[in-house]
Amino acid sequence: MIGEAALTEALDTLRHSFRAWLSAEAPQDWRATCTTHDGFLATQRAWFAKLAAGGYAVPHWPAEWPGGGRSLAEQKVIYEELARADTPRLLLSFMSTYHAASTLLEWGSAEQQARYLPRILEGEIWCQGFSEPNAGSDLANVRTRAERRGDVYVVSGQKLWSTMGQFADMCLLLVRTSSEGAKQAGLTYLLLDLKAPGVTARPIHQIHGDEEFAELFLDEVEVPVANRLGAEGQGWAVAQSTLSSERGLTLLELSARMRGALWRIADLIHNGGRGDDVGLLRDFGRLATKIDATCALADQFLANRIAGEERVGDASLVKLSYSRTLRDFTAFGLRLGGLRSQYHDPIVYGGGMETGNWMADFMNSYAWTIAGGSDEVQRNIIAERLLGMPREPRTWTLEPSA
């Protein structure tokens, strides 16, 4: 086993070499080019290709894949340096390299892995087709139907909130193949080619101007049975693997990026001539402390995972702290920016939630109180799984008002 001193030295070596690589390869003007969708797509594809060629795109993949086999501690170093260098977040390929890859690695056949994983490394874009109208994120209520006819499933229905769905090539699709028995038992997991006849992807225009999500309409779409992950009726279990991939190191990177963006608020205080406003500085200090606490929680979460001491619910602590602190961060920026910050300015596509476009950042921050499990869900998990409090009643109903 490698000693602590040797491990520290190895991580320092990785940090210095990756930092040097970033200084030469990281895009410098990406915020200016990402004000259009074409610019965003070109920047994301070029940056992912550079990272893949450099061996930094998929450090969480197994060692037999180029750039894979990195330890959690090494992945943390890579995320920290990406945040420090203020590089674009890989929003376009995030679903491909995490959700799709992890599900294929756990449930895919050798043929499926050999077919799809190299294409992901070459830049193929995947999205997720789980949520539906009237079902939200309650997977047990999925209604999109798939009927097996020989060697294909014929799929009809609608999916909602598919991140980057309008740009994607493939989709992780959860469908209902049976209405018998428990709802969960009737679900099946398919890999859908979004260029197949009968597929329509329509972007969803969001309140702050972005179109990060799409809705997918499926009309008698044929999906080969060979594109099924797991057995028919095993979709619930496969979907849990997909969702668990969200609980990786993403929050560590996001927290580091928020701390790195504190300078935007410091600049507003300085340039606004409010450097001697004691009350404002006190609030700024509280905000900085909350951000540091969120980063510390993320660090502790990773340390627990490395030590094999992670508890169910630990990730919820980090997620809840991040979503609440991000709201405070963007609200503080909006407050300092005054009336000018409330104008609707063009956004930077893929720029995250700390771009300095305070109105857009503030509205976008609400997404993190829902995405990946709402704050209410996280509080339930913390209460029930970490604090051992009684479970929420499952049978209560609202009494009609008199």
Taking residue 355's Cβ as centre, other Cβ atoms within 10 Å add up to 20
Specify whether 305 is located in the same domain as 194: no
Give the helix/strand (H/E) hosting 362.
helix 358-365
- Which residues are registered as beta bridge partners of 136? 132
Domain-terminating residue out of 203, 232, 261: 232
Specify whether 282 is located in the same domain as 217: no
In a domain, 397, yes or no: no
How far is it, in rounded angstroms, from Cα 67 to Cα 265?
A: 36
Q: How confident is the model at residue 343 (pLDDT cuts 50, 70, 90)?
A: confident
Q: How far is CA 280 from the centre of its chain?
A: 33
Specify whether 40 is located in the same domain as 152: no
Specify whether 153 is located in the same domain as 85: no
Q: Which of 128, 106, 104 is nearest to 116 (CA)?
A: 104
How far is it, in rounded angstroms, from Cα 249 to Cα 277?
A: 37
Give the helix/strand (H/E) hosting 271.
helix 262-271
**Residue 192 is part of a domain; what is its CATH number?**
2.40.110.10
Using one digit for the tens of pLDDT, what is the confidence trace for 156-177? Answer: 999 998 999 999 999 999 999 9
Specify whether 65 is located in the same domain as 132: no
Q: What is the mean pLDDT of the chain?
A: 90
Q: How confident is the model at residue 378 (pLDDT cuts 50, 70, 90)?
A: confident
Structure-block tokens of residue 168: 């994607």
Query: What secondary structure does DSSP assign to 182-243, as a single string?
Result: SGGGGEEEEEEETTSTTEEEEEE--TTS---EEEEEEEEEEEEGGGEESSTT-HHHHHHHHH
Would you call 313 exposed, middle or buried from its count of C-beta atoms within 10 A (0-12, 13-18, 19+)?
middle
Using one digit for the tens of pLDDT, what is the confidence trace for 301-330? Answer: 888 888 888 888 888 899 999 999 999 999
Specify whether 202 is located in the same domain as 275: no
Whether 111 sits among the annotated catalytic residues: the reply is no
Give the helix/strand (H/E) hosting 324.
helix 314-337
Average pLDDT (229-257) is 83
Average pLDDT (294-307) is 90
Specify whether 269 is located in the same domain as 340: yes
Could you tell me the CA-to-CA distances from 305 to 302, 308, 312, 314, 323 in Å, in that order? 5, 5, 11, 10, 21
Q: Which of 91, 93, 349 is nearest to 210 (CA)?
A: 349
pLDDT of residue 315: 87
- Say which range, 28-32, 57-61, 74-78, 320-324, has the weakest mean pLDDT: 28-32
In a domain, 117, yes or no: no
Average pLDDT (259-278) is 91
Specify whether 345 is located in the same domain as 382: yes
* Domain carrying residue 356: 247-387
pLDDT of residue 308: 87
Q: How confident is the model at residue 395 (pLDDT cuts 50, 70, 90)?
A: low
153: Cα within 13 Å, side-chain hemisphere: 28
List helix spans (H) across 85-155.
91-94, 101-107, 110-121
Catalytic residue among 81, 246, 253, 354: 246
The answer for residues whose C-beta is within 8 angstroms of residue 135's C-beta and 6 or more apart is 141, 142, 143
Specify whether 259 is located in the same domain as 338: yes
Average pLDDT (34-61) is 94
Specify whether 141 is located in the same domain as 216: yes
pLDDT of residue 401: 47
How far is it, in rounded angstroms, from Cα 129 to Cα 159?
A: 6
pLDDT of residue 402: 45
Domain-terminating residue out of 179, 204, 232: 232
- Say which range, 52-61, 139-148, 385-394, has the weakest mean pLDDT: 385-394
Q: At what angle do helices 278-306 and 72-84 cross, to 10 degrees?
A: 150
Using one digit for the tens of pLDDT, what is the confidence trace for 382-393? Answer: 999 899 998 876
Could you tell me the CA-to-CA distances from 208 to 55, 125, 227, 344 in Å, in that order? 35, 24, 37, 8
With b for 16 or more beta-carbon neighbours within 10 A and e for fewer, the 54-82 pattern comes to eebbbbbbeeebebbebbeebbbbbbbbb
How far is it, in rounded angstroms, from Cα 241 to Cα 99?
A: 8
31 compared with 5, residue with greater pLDDT: 31
Specify whether 192 is located in the same domain as 317: no
- Say which range, 114-123, 128-137, 262-271, has the weakest mean pLDDT: 128-137
How many structural domains does the chain have?
A: 3
Specify whether 133 is located in the same domain as 216: yes
- Say which range, 17-31, 220-234, 366-380, has the weakest mean pLDDT: 366-380
pLDDT at 211 over 90: no
pLDDT of residue 7: 79
Percent of the chain past pLDDT 90, that is, above it, reads 62
How far is it, in rounded angstroms, from Cα 14 to Cα 31?
A: 27
pLDDT of residue 282: 97
